[in-house]
Amino acid sequence: MSLLGVRGLGIDFGGITAVNALDFDVQPGEIVSIIGPNGAGKTTLFNMISGIYKPDRGTVTLDGDDVTSLEPHKLAERGLSRTFQNLQSFEQMTALENVMVGCHMSERSPVWVDLLRLPSSSRRNRETQERAMTLLKRVHLEKAAHMEASSLSYGALKRIDIARALACNPRILLLDEPAAGCNAVETEEIDALIAEIAQEGVAILLVEHDMKLVMKISNHVIALNYGEKLAEGTPAEISRDPKVVEAYLGSHGGKEAADALG
């Protein structure tokens, strides 16, 4: 049984079909990449899988259970976690606190315990702080721990986003353009991190424009165009697929990208 199963998924916005009739599976520990030009529906797909948009058609399953349109926090409890293409940082909180919020599911306690700051509340605080610090170290941001997120660079925020998602202890992680807007060094760090996370057995659904990376680490690639699946297969198959080269890489700047596809 697949970890994540998508069947016939589709959604419309005011008469425009953003995603249609999508089928695919993600097995435990697998890296599956979604590629496609801007506006192809990749982010919309993520939003449907993670419960932010309610799909008009089709189903999403986790471990075979139908989880279509389940609230995002219910999905997080089932081990599905994600990052955002357009940052959704907690801007007025420190980097450390951002990741601490990610630990919510393991630290949640009755409200009155927190209001009165009973010893158990303080203890949870300490434990969460340690865990969050470890995660920050993993993304090389321990130095920024006590800086407010709004004062951090875009690249740093992207990594905090990943650390926050990891704090949920996901079994499957949805990464929406994790390296977009990052400089070369940051991109490399993020690449390495993704590979590492996958190594630990977390399944990854990845949207990424860096084709070198996609081709290198994916078990499986799905190409989208106009919300529909154009092709699916191993990186090698996809990079040879003429429809993909035509649609995704398009005419302009196609050569450079075609080189990247190998």
Ligand X SMILES: Nc1ncnc2c1ncn2[C@@H]1O[C@H](COP(=O)(O)OP(=O)(O)O)[C@@H](O)[C@H]1O
How far apart CA 246 and CA 257 sit, in angstroms, is 11
Among 236, 140, 228, 226, CA closest to 186: 140
Query: How big is the chain by its Cα radius of gyration, in Å?
Result: 19
Chosen residue from 33, 81, 225, 239 binding other proteins by CB under 8 A: 81
Token readout for 139 is 């993304």
Give the shortest CB-227-to-ligand X separation in angstroms: 7
Q: Which stretch binds other proteins (CB under 8 A): 2-10, 162-170, 187-195, 203-211?
A: 162-170
Site string for Mg ion, 36-55 (x = CB under 5 A): ------xx------------
Q: Does 167 bind other proteins (CB under 8 A)?
A: yes
- Collapsing DSSP to helix, strand or coil, 207 comes out as strand
DSSP 217-236: H-SEEEEEETTEEEEEE-HH
Three-class secondary structure of residue 157 per DSSP: helix
- Asked if 13 interacts with ligand X (CB under 6 A), we say yes
Helix-strand-coil percent breakdown of the chain, rounded to 5?
45, 25, 35
If one asks whether residue 100 binds other proteins (CB under 8 A), the answer comes out as yes
User: Restricting to residues 5-64, which ones interact with other proteins according to CB under 8 A?
Assistant: 13-14, 43, 47, 50-53
**229 touches 23 (CB < 8 A):** yes
CA 256/CA 239 separation, integer angstroms: 13
Q: Which does 167 bind (CB under 5 to 8 A by kind): other proteins, ligand X, Mg ion, none?
A: other proteins
Contact residues: ligand X, CB under 6 A = 13, 18, 36, 38-44
Contact residues: Mg ion, CB under 5 A = 42-43, 85
Contact residues: other proteins, CB under 8 A = 13-14, 43, 47, 50-53, 71-73, 75-77, 81-82, 84, 86, 88-93, 97-98, 100-102, 104-105, 107-109, 111, 114-117, 121, 124-125, 128, 164-165, 167-168
